[in-house]
Structure 1
Amino acid sequence: MTSADGGETYDTLVQELVAELAALRIRAGNPSLRDIQKRAEKLFAGEGVSLAPSTVSGLLNGGYPSRERLLWLVRTLMSWDRTGEECQPPGNGAPELDPWHNRWEAITHARPARQRQGSGPKPAVAEVAASATKPSPAPVVAVQQRGNERAVDHFQHVQRPGQPAGKRPRLRRAVVYVHDIGATREHYEMTFNRVYSRLSEKLPGIDVRGCFWGQESDPRYGMHRGRLTGFGSGRTIDEDEAAWRVTRDDPRYELRLLGLRPLPSAGPGRRKKRPQKLLAELSRYAASPQVRTVFQEHGLGDSLDTAVQTVFNSSDLRAAVSTTDEDGDEHRRAFARAVVATALAAADPQGINVSSRNGRDALLSSLFADLLERKDTEGSGSGVADIFRRQRGDSLSALMTRPVGDMLRYQARGHPLRRLIRQTIETTSGDVVTVIAFGFGSVACVDLMVQEQISRVDQLITVSTPAPYLYDIGALTSLEPSQPLPDHFPHRWLNLYDRRDLLAFSASQVFPNCVTDHAVDNGQPFPETHTAYWSNPDVWSTITTWMN
């Protein structure tokens, strides 16, 4: 039944419009709000188009549209075909726009008189309330604080006619879980089922979705083909190329990652002797004639000695060798790659550029082989023969663990993963979304939310995140160390970490006034503590209390 002022009919028509716009957006390939803004500016530059992400979010979530903005949005969405390719949008008077004119006119006719005339109560401003209960049809504007800055979430809807002033509509909340690196399908499903059951138990009725980005996920996203499976396993050529892309801009990146590892298990005396022994070996290193010949053939003869000295004198090398294992071959290879990358960077201003994969591999292989020949192999057998047996064949030797390889691949090709996370969020039900991101999955989420405005995400929960460390050393893809988080970043961020977890970092020290840190005790040593969060009751009580 329609109310006296037409309120119920208006609500119904608005919800129908929201559904039609959502279907049109999905047909266009589900573009992000930022993509819609850029596309509209490109298409309709002469029409004075203004489709900011906040405006688009309001239209897609039930805000009352002006005719021109509604048609701009519709025409923009129609400028992508079903495959996501760009196409020519309909003109202003095109007949396919007639249904949208009709929808707007019906909504405007049904719009309650108090809203049309500007009388009655003004639109309410309230905080977004997390809820797993029965949804209210429309969200409201959310005002929150970040430091001294005032930020408004873009769920812009007017107050319902007849709704008591100050009453907060409760919003449907959904959760998206993003896992850590190195997860197989079986491990992901086991962890997701635990996350799902705990949240469903504490927040009945909440919608929980998972974002699986492992080797068995949709191949369109290009992640985890030929996944690394541990030390000594094969690495595909694509993965080796990814490693070169990262070290080209950051020559000592692999050394820093090795420095993050836990110290190897051994008695105190032996643990101390390994780094000393490797450092002494590297300090005595002088390139052989064979290595010099290879470097000279590629125009790098003058850069070799300086590059060796630069890498050897770096603090990154000191930190890396402290985690060396029994034979140290992985660390030698990282040292060799850092030297090659440093030499390439030094020669680049002179116009010397070794861009071919074969050229880079020849430089690395010659230097690495030389290092292996020099190492003290007493009691370790024929280390050189063993290493190169693994290196030959259809794939290159990994000489690094799965996490290191996955981190390098994300740093080089992170966009497909971020796109997958965004699409999972955008296809999740609920008015507002909480993202729970674990381990390195949290790095991808932070990068995504820095680079794009994901309006429905108002809460971010990171568990065992290395993102603060990467930001602090300048290795976070989306943000320079001197840059603050953008204002569109979720204004509620909870970060959980166990002090025994060497892969987890406090975030409030580098992102002051933006995040709430909470230390938990998983009751396990490292590395077991890294995977013990989901069985810790304190983790779940903290998460659910904070969400509410």
Structure 2
Amino acid sequence: MRFLFVHGTGVRRERHDRLFALVRDRLTARFPRARVDSCYWGDRFGATLGAGGRSVPGMRPRPAAAPDPVDAETAEWALLLADPLCELRVLAEAGWGPPGEGGAASGEGPAGGPDGAPGDDPFAMPGVRPAGTGVLALLAALPHDPPRTGDELGALLHGTGLAAGYPAALDSTAASAEAARAAGRAAGDAQARELASALARAVTAAALADAGADADCTGAERDRLVELLTTRLGGDARVPGARAAAVLGRLALRVTTQPLLNAWRGSLTTGATPALGDILRYQARGHELRAFLHARITADPGPTVLVGHSLGGIALVDLLALAAARREAVPGARLLVTVGSQAPFLHELGALAALEPGAKLPYGFPRWLNVYDRQDVLAYLAGPVFPGDPRVTDHEIGSRQPFPACHSAYWKQDALYERIEQAVAEAEIG
């Protein structure tokens, strides 16, 4: 009897040799008379950047300098999409600064309490409403369904896919405690104009967040929506909110992923190429790897247990199913063991080369033990995808490790080899 180990995606020689030594020692301890071989394919059939990554924007990063304004703007909107009320929250909590910076104590008017009524400023004049209260009233009065034609705001909302989420965006912003508190703090006209801009950005961000990937909205269209809403709220459409934007602009560059991705895209792409690239290359040129596996399996005519990890399991499922469908079962392949494999999921997607979506495993396909860890997001169940097939068995193993560590933790667990030993006995492989 022979075991043939087929490694997974992203594995290259050094990693393979360490992993295979572990698998070989564990299998040999349980099957002292069996041969344990490996089918290393990473160098020959794995992915590389043939042009050195010249297709990747930012592969050669610009010299360190001041933040790119486009990056800063993109990061700020990423923060707004995650929390449309974040600018309003800054204004609600920080107001417009200490005396002398335009706040209520500088003589421009009273500041309001959390509900928009005067209350935070002990010198507020009773009965005098902050200017921001009027802005909030204008927001509450905006129509929920602007017409498609004859109204630029309505045309933009419908043309960008934001019309469906716009009414809820209006309501959630207008009814928020952040908006009420910020309006109460906006004592004078200057603060009211800034509040109008922050409210317009909050409404636009909420509508964009609701639409998600279904939004068809460019940056220019987004900015025009903000301008139109700001104007309708009595603000200056050409002047962004200075205080909140300044605070959140700096924060966004630190806490959002886009600037980091822009800066590190080249190195990230290079680092991800073996793992992701191997899968993509297999989808396009999988026949090369399958032919290599077939040659390695048939080089020894004796009974063979095929052990495939991750992409190695996908390739083995494809190979065995294609051969069985041609009524040319791979000689010697008596048992398939897949560990942390995506083959069942690819079958559901219709992305397995060997099987149409929903098709059963062909006659001649060997017994299949599919081992998974529910913490491993790259491991899938085979039994429910091939219901009623007695050849297919799922077995769960728990490494108590999070992903991605759990994707490789199978090989150090005695439970894996115990289950393989049981499957070998059930298949009556001597």
TM-score by length of 2: 0.49
Query: What is the TM-score normalised by the length of structure 1?
Result: 0.40
Which structure has more helix as a fraction of its residues?
A: 2
- Which fold has the larger relative contact order, with Cα–Cα distance below 8 Å and residues 6 or more apart in sequence? 2
